[in-house]
Structure 1
Amino acid sequence: MGPWGNMDLNGTIWPDGLLIAGFVFLAQIYASVHVLRTRDDVRAAVAWIGLLWLAPVFGLIFYMLFGVNRIERQAKRARARRGLPARRDMISDPDGPSMLDANPDTPHRWQAHARLAGRVTGLPITLGNRITPLEGGRKAYDAMVDAIDKAEHTVALTTYIFQADQAGRRFIAALVRAHERGVKVRVLVDAVGNLYGLKPVSNLLRRKGIKVATFNPARLSWRLAFFNLRTHRKLLVVDGFKGFAGGMNIRKHHLEREDGTPRVRDTHFALEGPIVTQMMDAFTDDWAFSAKEELDEDTWLPTVGATGPGVIARAVPDGPDEPRQRSAMIMESALTSARNRVRIITPYFIPEQALIVGLKQAALRGVQVDIIVPAKNNLPFFMLTALSGARQLVEAGCHLYLSPPPFDHTKLMIVDEDWVFFGSSNWDARSLKLNFEFNLECYDAGFARTMTDWVKDRTDAALEMTREDFRTRPRLHRAIGRLLWLTSPYL
C-alpha cells in the first residue's frame, strides 16, 4: 500500500476514500433491499430508505442498531426445541370455547372481535377467572410477596426493571425464602432493566443459588444489532395457579413517600383461573429463549380449573418475533366494536396511524373517546411529542385529559363497559413493535364497570385539552414537538 491508497493486482491505485465510499454504497444497497423485504408499512420503509441515503454512515449504523430484527430467528429455534411450530402461518381458530359457548347472548360485534383475537394470538378464551385490581405499589407488592411466601412448588417472575432497593429487597428476601424451603424459582429480568441502580439483581440472586436469566443482553458483538428489543413484560406466577400481571416494575418508585403521598400511580392485577396457564406458558417460552432451559410442563403447567362463573379472559403475549402486531390489531378491532364510550389511560401516547384512524372513526361515529395521559411525563420532551400528534384527535372529537401529578404509569383500555384491556403495553411504536409485551383482554360487564368507576375518578381530576388550548400553546413547544414527532416512523 502506498501513501495515496491501495494497489490491486493489475497495478491500479485505488484511493482509500474511494474504497470506503464503494463499501458504503454497497452497504446502502444491501440495507435498502433489506428494508424493502422486511417492512410492511410503506411510511416506515420510505423513512428508513431516506435516512440510509441522505445520511449514509449515520443511517447505516442507526438501521443496524434499531431497524434489523434478528430475534425472530432465535425465538423460532427456541420454539423448535420445545416441539412447537413457528408462529408465522398460524392463522386459524384456536381449540377451545367460543364466545357463544361462554355466553349465548354475546353481541355479534364482540363475537367477531373475539374471533379475530383468537386468530391473531392463537389462544382461546378462558372461562371462570377471578381478576382483582391492585392499585399502588404497596398493595400490589404486599400481595405478590405474600403469594411467594405461600408458594409450595414453583415461582416464575419476569419483569423489565428489578432494583435492589426498598421494594426490590422484599422480593429478593421472599424469593430466597422460597428457594430455601425447596420451591423451584426462576427469575427473568430484562438485560437493560437489570442495570437500573448500582447493584444488578441478577448477581444478587445467583449468589443465593436462584436460577436467573437476563433477556437479550447487549454485548459488544453482533448482538448489538438488536439490543433495543427489550422484554417489557411483568408477570409473576406462583404454583401455576395464582398470577399477577400489569405494568408495574419492581422498584421503590411505586411506593409512597414518607408522608404517605405516592411517587407514581400504577395498577397491577391479581389473577386466578385458567388464564394463569396462558401466563405461565408465555413465561415458559421466554425462559426457553433466554436460559435455554425447557421447564417441565407437569411441574410448571398444572391443569387449572375455573374459579366459578368469573371473567372471560385471554392472554395477549406480543413481541417483534410475532408475524403480526397482536396488541395493535386487537386494540384497533376493539375501537371498531365500540358503540358508546372508549376510555384509555396510558403514560406514553404516540399511536401509529392505524390507531389514530381508529380513534378518529370512533369519535366521528358518535362514540365518546376519553384519553388520559400525564400532564407531566417522566421522560423529557415526551409530552411535547405526544401533544403534537394528539391535536388531530381532539379536532376529530376525541377528549384528551391531562392528569395531575403524580405521574400515572397505568395502561388500561375500556370499551362500552363490556371489554377491558390491560397489561404492559403503552400506546407507542416501541411497545407495539419492538418490545416483548404481555396484555390481557377481558369480556365481563361487572369487571368493566369496576374499572370504569376507577377511571372516572382519574377523569374527574384531570384537565381537558381543548382546541383552543392547542392553538395557544407556545410556538417553541409546538415547533420542538413537531420535530420530535418526525422521528416516530424510525421506531
Structure 2
Amino acid sequence: MQTGISDLWPILLAVIQFGGAIGAAIHVMLSKSDERAAAGWVGFIVLVPFVGWVVYLLFGINRIQRRARELRGAKNETLLLAPLPPRHGGTALSERESGDPKLKVLESLARFGQKVLPESFEPGNSVGVLQNGDEAYPSMIAAIGSAERSIALSTYIFNNDPAGRRFVDALAAARERGVRVRLLIDGVGSWYSRPSLIPLLEERGIDYARFLHSFMPWQMPYLNMRNHQKIMVVDGRHGFTGGMNIAEGNVVAAAPSKPILDYHFRVEGPVVAHLMHTFAYEWNFTTGELLDGPDWFPEIGETGDVVARGLPAGPDMGLNPIRWTLLGALAEARRNIRIVTPYFLPDATLRTAISVAAMRGVVVDIVLPRTSNLPFIDWASTPQLEWLARAGCRIWKSAGAFDHTKIMTVDGMWSMVGSANWDDRSLRLNFEFNLECYGTSFARTLDDIVERKIADSHPVSLEELATRSLPGRIRDAFFRLASPYL
C-alpha cells in the first residue's frame, strides 16, 4: 500500500505543476498589457518548473490596483465619483471663454483629456502663486481665519512643529466659531512627526481622519496606496493645492536645519468645486460621511482668465488621468516643455515621449534638485538622464536647498501643478491631485519661475553623465532596477 502511494507522488506533482503553470500563464496573457513583460513571464513560468509560477503568483500580479479597487469598489457606485455637471458646452477653450485665441491650438489636447477623464474644463479661474511656506501658510491660515461655513483640508504630512501647531490653532478657532471642519491626513504621512500631532487634534476637538491607517504588520501593502493629495477648500469657494505639506521645514525664513523649497497655489473660481469634489470623495471613503449641500458646494462665479480642471488619480482607476494627460501634453508640444520635479523616475513610455519631443525639435528643460532628501532616487534616475540627454533634452540641477517644486508647462499656454511626482509611486501607486490649466498669463508666470531656477542651476551635460566612474555607474544601474518601487 505504501508503495502504491509513493508511486502517485510523481503524478500528483506533475498535475500541480501543469495546473499551476497553465493557470499562471493564462493570467499573464489576460492581464499584462506589455507584450515583452507577458512573454518574459510566460517563458519563466514554463522553463522553471514550480518556481516560475510560484514567483509569478507572489510578485507578478498587480495586487495594488486590485486591492485599491476592492477597497473602494463599494464607493464607485456613489454619485461622488460621477463628474461634476459642466456649466457650459464643449471644451471651454473658445476665444470667448478663454480670452486668448492662442489657446485654440490646444483644443485637441483638451478633447483628448476629456476622453481620459470626463471632468469638465471650467473657464473663469484665477490661480495665484505662493512661494514656500513663508507665503503659503499665512495665506492658508488667513483663509481659515475668515471661514464662515466650512473647511476641508487634506494633506500627506501634518507635522507636530510650530507650523503644524499654527494650523491646529486656526482650525480649532474656526471650529469654536461654528465652522464645519474636516481634516484628512494620510495614515503613513501621520507617522512622519514624532511625537504625532494626533493627540493634539483630539485634545482640540478637531474632526480628523487618517486615510488607510493601520498599526497592523499585515497591512503593510497600504504603504503603496497613499493619499498624497494636498487640498484645502474654505467655504467651498477658496481653494489651495500644490505639492506642499504642512511642516516647519517649508518656512525658509525660520532657518530650519533642512529647508524645503516649494510652491503652492491659491485657486479661485468654478474649478474650486473640483478640489472639493475630490476631497469629499476621499472623506466619504475614509469615514462614510457624505459632504454635500451649499456649505461645501456653493455656486461660484468666474474670477479670472484660466481654464482649468482637477485631475484626481489613483491605483483604482484603469487609466491614470495624470499620466495620460502628461503623455498627451508631450505629444502636443511644438516649441518648449518645462518640467520641474523633485523625483524623476518616469516609466519607459514617458521617457520615450519626452525623447521623441526633443528629437522633433521641441526644447525640453528638466529641472531637478541638486540636493535631494532621497539620494537613492537620484542614483536611480541618472541612467535615464543620460538617455534623455542623448535625445537632446537639457538637464539642470538647481542650486541651494532641496527643491520640492512640481511644475510643467508646454508652449507657454498649458500648465500643470499639483501633488504628483514623475515616478511610478505617484503615477501608479498613490492617490494624487493635479490641476490642469490653459492660460498664457499663468503659464508665463510659471515659465518665469522655471527660468529663474535654470539661471541658478548647474547644466548636466551628456559628457558629464557618460563619463561617470564605473562604481558610480554600477550603483546607479542597481538602483535603476528598483525604480518602479521607489
Structure 2 length as normaliser, TM-score?
0.88
What is the identity, as a one-letter code, of the residue corresponding to 1:269? F
Tell me what 1:417 maps to. Answer: 412
Query: In the alignment, is residue 453 of structure 1 matched against residue 448 of structure 2?
Result: yes
1:70 and 2:72 correspond: no
Q: CA deviation at 1:79?
A: 3.4
- Distance in 2, matches of 1:161 and 1:51, equals 41
Distance in 2 of aligned mates of 1:254 and 1:24: 56
Deviation larger for 358-367 or 194-203? 194-203
- Give percent identity, aligned residues only: 38
When residues 59 and 265 of structure 1 are mapped into structure 2, their CA distance, relative to the original with a 3 A threshold, is farther
The DSSP-based 3-state class of the residue aligned with 2:353 is helix
User: Aligned residue for 2:282?
Assistant: 286
Aligned to 2:33: 40
Amino acid across the alignment from 1:340: R
Distance in structure 2 (CA, Å) of the matches to 1:29 and 1:208: 58
Call closer, same or farther: CA 1:170–1:337 in 2, change over 3 Å. same
2:132 corresponds to which residue?
136
Q: Which residue of 1 aligns with 2:329?
A: 334
Q: Deviations over 1:78-119 (max 9, x none)?
A: 13244756x9xx9x9996653225248345540000111122
The gaps in structure 1 that reach 5 residues or longer are 1-6
Q: 5 Å matches for 1:1-400?
A: 12=5, 34-42=27-35, 45=38, 61-62=58-59, 67=64, 69-82=66-79, 98-100=92-94, 102-103=97-98, 105-106=101-102, 109-218=105-214, 220=216, 223-256=219-252, 258-259=254-255, 263-307=259-303, 309-400=304-395
For residues 182 and 11 of structure 1, do their structure 2 counterparts lie closer, same or farther at Cα, with a shift above 3 Å needed? farther
RMSD after superposition = 3.4
Shift in Å, 1:434:
0.9
**Alignment check: 8 A CA contact 2:398 2:457 kept:** yes
Residue identity in the other structure for 1:359? I
Deviation (angstroms), 1:380: 2.9
Contact 1:231 1:437 in 2 (8 A): yes
The whole-number CA distance in structure 2 between the counterparts of 1:28 and 1:435 is: 32
Q: Deviations over 1:430-477 (max 9, x none)?
A: 111111110011111111111111111100111111111012211111
Which deviations, in whole Å up to 9, do the C-alpha atoms of 1:342-401 show, x marking residues without a partner? 111001111112211111111111111000011232113211111111111100100001
Q: What's the CA shift for 1:199? A: 3.0
TM-aligned CA deviation for residue 40 of structure 1: 2.7
Q: Secondary structure at the match of 2:249?
A: helix
Tell me the equivalent position of 2:461. Answer: 466
Matched length: 479
Unpaired runs of 5+ residues, structure 2, are none
Q: Partner of 1:152: helix, strand, or coil?
A: coil
**Structure 2: which amino acid aligns with 1:200?**
S
Amino acid at match of 2:119: L
Kept after mapping to 2: 8 A contact 1:372/1:403: yes
- Residue 3 of structure 1 corresponds to which residue in structure 2? none
User: Is residue 2:400 matched to residue 1:405?
Assistant: yes
Q: 1:38 to 1:227 in 2, by over 3 A?
A: farther
Shift of 1:43: 5.1
Indicate how the Cα distance of structure 1 residues 199 and 341 shifts in structure 2: closer, same or farther if over 3 A, else same. same
